[in-house]
Structure 1
Amino acid sequence: MNNPTRTIISRRSRPAKEPLSKDIIVKTALELLKSEGSSGLSMRKIAKALDTGPSSLYVYVTNHQELSAFVLDAGMESVVLSNEEGVSWEIRLYETLHSYLTVLMEFPGVAGLALNTIPIGPHSLALTEYILERLHEAGIHSTSAAWGLDLLMLYASSVAFEQASRAENGTTLQAISASYRSLNDKQYPMIASLQSELITSDGEERFRWGLEAILQGILQRQSKFGI
């Protein structure tokens, strides 16, 4: 029986889907990673968000590992490479790595990718090139520069992941402090004596101290062994 009040919606009136491409896949994957964490970075979820099948994605990305690298690179687009004139190489390097830290700390998923993904995109490579240039400017060459780069990136990525994960899980410094205070000071005398120092300056000052400790070690290694 015909219903004269029924509204018929033509498929032609629906908004057309945005054509599938590597860029739209990466953009969608990054949004899912930010909103859902690492669980959002699955081919099935990305395909569902794009109203297509997982097999369609492999036309544009070789595998999940390659997609992860593209997504990490997209997340690093906001990292600022400091090139202020008249400023020492060390300050410029610190400012750049702090920018990298800040970007990663916004979302644990992106910080997690930085720890287990090979950087191959243009933004990732630009950051790698920048750090090597600053190390070269400081007189750090060859093996010391290459391995020093790994240490600096690993340190910054690890700090970002730790801080972002704490924020996501609701872990506070007060809770950590309470845990230390509950320990038997005779069984753990060093922790008891340093419990304040273990949790204080948990921010920019502590991050900078870590970078300076790593850089001093690299400089000493370069000076002593020349590699």
Structure 2
Amino acid sequence: MPSDPRQRRAARHAPPAGDAAPSPKRPLTVDRITDAALQVVATEGYDALTIRRVAAVLGTGPSSLYAHIVNKDDLDDLLVGRLCAAVALPEPDPATWRTQIVDAYAQIRDQYLKYPGVSRAALGTVPTNLDALRVREGLFAILLAGGVEPQAAAWALDALSLYVSAYALEQSLVQQRRKHPDDEWVLGREELLSRFTALPADSFPQTRRYAAELTSGSGHDRFEFTLGLLIDSIERRG
């Protein structure tokens, strides 16, 4: 310890020796890039997702990301893979295969809904990420266990996955519109019911008569109903 009181005082106010040098920068990895991309989607929506935006979140330049990913499509593949990694798949059971399919797709739906618009990343692409392929393999195995013929099962996967992606995208669009100052475009059930029952009876007799049925059910009720319709069709073909 310094003998001079002034030196001792200066030493007390000096930063610790460990803080004198800047901490080493965390290395950029595919996992960190994926984390940052999900952060952008969660806070700003999928439309805001760009390579430049992700780079800004990571405190680096876009060129740094290209050392780890190919392009935006590659980033989309990583996002879908990360979300699929959270999906738990059961051992295919011929006795409960219908319930297993609905449960698995409900998990995928819920993952998509956490990140507004992210299901667009799954549209128009063939998955190559191993986690996404794991889920596809598991869903395919469940359909086959249910006695669905392989060709019908293969095409059924496309139809079911397309519906789930579209459903999640629609839900994200509704939420986005509700945040808009002019939110009159997103009507609640009571308002819809009121408008339907007020329509001219001579032009809209069925809409007036069945307004309650047309406006009934939550989004998830309709989700399970539609999956049931698709599965019924698959079962008949199988």
Query: Do residues 205 (structure 1) and 225 (structure 2) align?
Result: no
Q: Determine the C-alpha separation between the residues in 1 that align with 2:104 and 2:79.
A: 20
Could you say which residue in structure 2 is the equivalent of 1:194? Answer: 210
Query: Do residues 55 (structure 1) and 63 (structure 2) align?
Result: yes
Match of 1:173 among 165, 189, 193: 189
Match of 2:37 among 29, 36, 43: 29
Shift of the 208–43 alpha-carbon distance from structure 1 to 2, 3 Å rule, reads same
Gap regions ≥5 residues in structure 2:
1-13, 179-185
Q: Determine the C-alpha separation between the residues in 2 that align with 1:212 and 1:21.
A: 41
**Structure with the greater alpha carbon radius of gyration:** 2
Contact 1:177 1:195 in 2 (8 A): yes
Query: Do residues 131 (structure 1) and 134 (structure 2) align?
Result: no
Aligned-residue CA RMSD (Å): 2.9
TM-score by length of 2: 0.79
Matches for 1:49-128 after TM superposition, within 5 Å:
49-83=57-91, 88-128=96-136
TM-score by length of 1: 0.82
Shift of 1:199: 2.1
Q: Determine the C-alpha separation between the residues in 2 that align with 1:135 and 1:29.
A: 33
Shift of 1:76: 2.7
Could you say which residue in structure 2 is the equivalent of 1:3? Answer: none
Any idea what the Cα deviations from partners look like across 1:187-216, whole Å, max 9, x if unmatched? 333333332222212244322221121111
Task: Report the AA paired with residue 177 of structure 2.
Answer: N
Shift of 1:133: 0.5
Q: Determine the C-alpha separation between the residues in 2 that align with 1:77 and 1:108.
A: 18
Task: Report the AA paired with residue 220 of structure 1.
Answer: R
Shift of the 82–142 alpha-carbon distance from structure 1 to 2, 3 Å rule, reads closer
Contact 2:95 2:146 in 1 (8 A): no
Shift of the 52–179 alpha-carbon distance from structure 1 to 2, 3 Å rule, reads farther
Shift of 1:94: 1.4
Aligned length: 218
Contact 1:30 1:74 in 2 (8 A): no
Any idea what the Cα deviations from partners look like across 1:61-101, whole Å, max 9, x if unmatched? 11111111111221233222234879611111111111111
Using the aligned pairs only, state the percent identity: 27
